[in-house]
Amino acid sequence: MLFNSLAFGGFLIIALILFWSAPRTHRVFIIIGLSYFFYMYSYPIYFFLLAILTLINFGLALEMARKPSRRKHFLALAISIDLFVLGFYKYAGFASREVLNLLSSFGIQSDVTAIEITLPLGISFFTFQMMSYVIDTYRGLPAEKSFWNFAAYISFFPQLVAGPIVRPQTLLPQIKADHKYDEDQAVRGLFLIAQGLVKKVAFADFLGGYVDKVFAAPGDFSGLATLIGIYAYAFQIYFDFSGYTDIAIGVGKLFSFEIPINFDLPYISKSPREFWRRWHISLSTWLRDYLYIPLGGNRKSSGRTYYNMMVTMLLGGIWHGANWTFLFWGAYHGLLISIQRLLEENLPAAKRWIEKPSPLVAVGSALLTFHLVSLGWVIFRAQSLGQAVEVLKNVFSGGQGVETFETPIVVMLSIAILSHIFRSRVKLEEWYVRMPAPVQAFGYSCVTILIYLFFTTEQRFIYFQF
C-alpha cells in the first residue's frame, strides 16, 4: 500500500478511528493488526516471513536474558538467521546469475536458469531493526517480555517498509505508553504528511520522468542536458526518500508516536562525512554503532581505521541491493570519507576549513561536496557500471541529440535548491503550526491542488526496492 494512494488515505482514517477509540490495553493489538494488514496489502505471502522472523528474534533475545552464559550463542544464531534470510532474498538471484555468466565465459552452458525471487517489502529495514534489538539485548538492554509489544515494535506500519530504522530504546517504550491525543502533534503530523506528499508527487515523480529518459539513452542528450539529468536524480532520490520519511513521521505523530528524523538537508553538507550525518541518518548511525565501532572504529592504527571505514561503507552499499553498482557506490563513499580523514590528519588547514569555514569557503565546500555526491548517484542510479560510464562520458562529449534541456526541469531544480537554502534558515514546521487554522486550511487546499496538478499514477517509492 503506497503512502501516495487513495487506498492509504482510507486506511489511515480507519486506523486512527480504531486506535483512538480502543481501550489502552487493546491498542497494541490494533497496531499489530493494522501493520500486518498494511504489509499484506501487496504481498500477502510475506506475512509469514515477517511473523516467523519476529517470533525467532523475540525468543532468542529472551533466551539471552534467561541464560546469560550462553548469550553469545543465541546472539550468533539470531544474527545468522536474520542475515541468511536477508542474503537469500536480496542476493540469491544475483549470485546465481553471476555464476551462470562466469560458467558461460568459460564456454560452459547450463540448462539451469537463474533464481528469480520477489523481494519482500522492507526486508532490509525490519531485519536491521531485529538485529539492533538482539544486539542491544546482548549488550545489556532488558529483553522485552511481551511478544505483542515486540511484534508491534517490529511491524509498526508507518516505518515498516522504508524506515527509518528505529532502535528499540526509542520505539518500545512508546508502544507500552498510555497515549493521549495531542492536538499539537496532530497538526505537526498533518504538516509533515502534506510536505512529504508534495516532495514525492510534485518533485520526485516529476523529476524522475526526465531522469529515466537521460539514463535510458544518454546519447540522445547534450552534455548540459545530461548534467541536468544527474542533478535531477540527486534531488529526485532526496525528495522521494525524505518525502516517505516525512509521511512516516507525520503518521506516527497522528498516533502520538515520535519517529526520529532521517534526513537533515544533506545537500548543504560541507564534507562527505557531514553528508552521511545528514543523509539516511538511521542507516548511517546503525552502521556506525553496530559495525564500524565493533570493528574498532578509530581506536586503533590509522591503517585499521581506514580499513574499518571502507568495510563499513562497502557493506552499506551492498545493503542497498544486489548489483555491482551498489558495491562500487559504497566503495566510492568509503574512499571520499577516507580522503577527508587523510587531509585532516596531514593538513591542519583543511580541518580548520571544514570545521569552521568562512562563508565563501563554506559555499565552495558545499558545492564541491554536492558534486562529489552527485557523481556517486550516477553509479547508484545506473543499471550497470557500463551505463554509469556512458552517462558520465556524455556530460563531457555530448550526444547527437537535442542541444536543449527541458525548462520545467530546470525550474523545479531551482526551486529544490532554494528550498534547501530556505529550510536551512527557517523552521518551516514551527512557523506553519503557529498559523491560524484558516491559514493552515488554505495551505492544505493549495497542497491538494498542487498534488492534483502533478499527479499522474501512483509511483512506488525508490527505497521500496531495498
Report the b/e string of 220-246 with b at 16+ CB within 10 A. Answer: ebbbebbbbbbbbbbbbbbbbbbbbbb
pLDDT score recorded for residue 256: 93
pLDDT score recorded for residue 457: 65
Instruction: Tell which wins on pLDDT, 461 or 66.
Output: 66
Q: Are 412 and 207 in contact (CB under 8 A)?
A: yes
Average pLDDT over residues 109-127: 80
The C-alpha cell 552502521 sits at 287
Q: Grade residue 458 by pLDDT with cuts at 50, 70 and 90.
A: low
Query: Considering the chain, what is the average pLDDT of its residues?
Result: 88
pLDDT score recorded for residue 405: 62
Q: Are 254 and 17 in contact (CB under 8 A)?
A: no
Question: Is residue 225 predicted with pLDDT exceeding 60?
Answer: yes
- C-alpha separations of 377 from 3, 196, 212, 263, 356 in Å: 25, 22, 14, 17, 27
The model's pTM? 0.90
What distance in Å separates the CA atoms of residue 236 and residue 242, rounded to the nearest whole number?
10
* Cell of residue 63, nine digits: 533466551
- pLDDT above 90 as % of the chain: 54
Here the contacts of 414-418 (C-beta below 8 Å, separation 24 or greater) are 416/203, 416/235, 416/239, 417/267
**Least confidently predicted of 203-207, 263-267, 368-372, 452-456:** 452-456
Query: Could you tell me the maximum CA-CA distance found in the chain, to the nearest angstrom?
Result: 73
Q: Grade residue 127 by pLDDT with cuts at 50, 70 and 90.
A: very high
178: left (phi over 0), alpha (psi -120 to 50) or beta: beta
Question: Is residue 400 predicted with pLDDT exceeding 60?
Answer: no
Dihedral Cα 193, 198, 200, 201, nearest 10 deg: 130
Question: Is residue 278 predicted with pLDDT exceeding 80?
Answer: yes
Nearest to 257 by CA among 53, 20, 40: 20
What distance in Å separates the CA atoms of residue 229 and residue 399, rounded to the nearest whole number?
13
Q: Are 54 and 286 in contact (CB under 8 A)?
A: no
Average pLDDT over residues 200-204: 88
Which residue of the set 26, 73, 280, 320 is catalytic?
320
pLDDT score recorded for residue 105: 74
Assess whether 320 carries a catalytic annotation: yes
* Cell of residue 323, nine digits: 548489483
What distance in Å separates the CA atoms of residue 411 and residue 407, rounded to the nearest whole number?
6
What distance in Å separates the CA atoms of residue 431 and residue 162, rounded to the nearest whole number?
28
Question: Is residue 358 predicted with pLDDT exceeding 80?
Answer: no
Question: Is residue 369 predicted with pLDDT exceeding 60?
Answer: yes
Average pLDDT over residues 285-305: 91
Q: Grade residue 456 by pLDDT with cuts at 50, 70 and 90.
A: low
SS3 of residue 221 by DSSP: strand
What distance in Å separates the CA atoms of residue 303 and residue 281, rounded to the nearest whole number?
26
pLDDT score recorded for residue 151: 96
SS3 of residue 395 by DSSP: helix
pLDDT score recorded for residue 235: 95
What distance in Å separates the CA atoms of residue 26 and residue 33, rounded to the nearest whole number?
11
pLDDT score recorded for residue 337: 95
CA angle 110, 113, 117 (to 5 degrees): 155
Nearest to 157 by CA among 264, 55, 259, 262: 259
Query: Residue ranges per domain, the chain?
Result: 6-178, 184-464
Q: Grade residue 398 by pLDDT with cuts at 50, 70 and 90.
A: low
CA atoms within 13 A on the CB side of 251: 29
Q: Grade residue 3 by pLDDT with cuts at 50, 70 and 90.
A: confident
**Least confidently predicted of 111-120, 269-278, 358-367:** 111-120
* Cell of residue 213, nine digits: 529518459
Q: Are 27 and 181 in contact (CB under 8 A)?
A: no
381, amino acid identity: R
In DSSP notation, 248-293 reads HHHHHHHTT-------S-GGG-SSHHHHHHHSSHHHHHHHIIIIIH
Average pLDDT over residues 1-8: 82
What distance in Å separates the CA atoms of residue 394 and residue 195, rounded to the nearest whole number?
35
What distance in Å separates the CA atoms of residue 32 and residue 30, rounded to the nearest whole number?
5
Nearest to 169 by CA among 204, 194, 137, 145: 137
pLDDT digits (tens, 9 = 90+) for 402-425: 455 677 888 888 888 888 888 767
Question: Is residue 363 predicted with pLDDT exceeding 60?
Answer: yes
The C-alpha cell 505471502 sits at 45
In this structure, how many other beta carbons lie within 10 angstroms of the beta carbon of residue 255?
A: 24
- C-alpha separations of 215 from 201, 223, 237, 322, 386 in Å: 20, 13, 14, 19, 11
What distance in Å separates the CA atoms of residue 152 and residue 54, rounded to the nearest whole number?
10
In this structure, how many other beta carbons lie within 10 angstroms of the beta carbon of residue 103?
A: 13
Q: CA quadruple 214, 217, 218, 221: dihedral positive or negative? A: negative
pLDDT digits (tens, 9 = 90+) for 236-268: 999 999 999 999 999 999 999 999 999 999 999
pLDDT score recorded for residue 434: 79
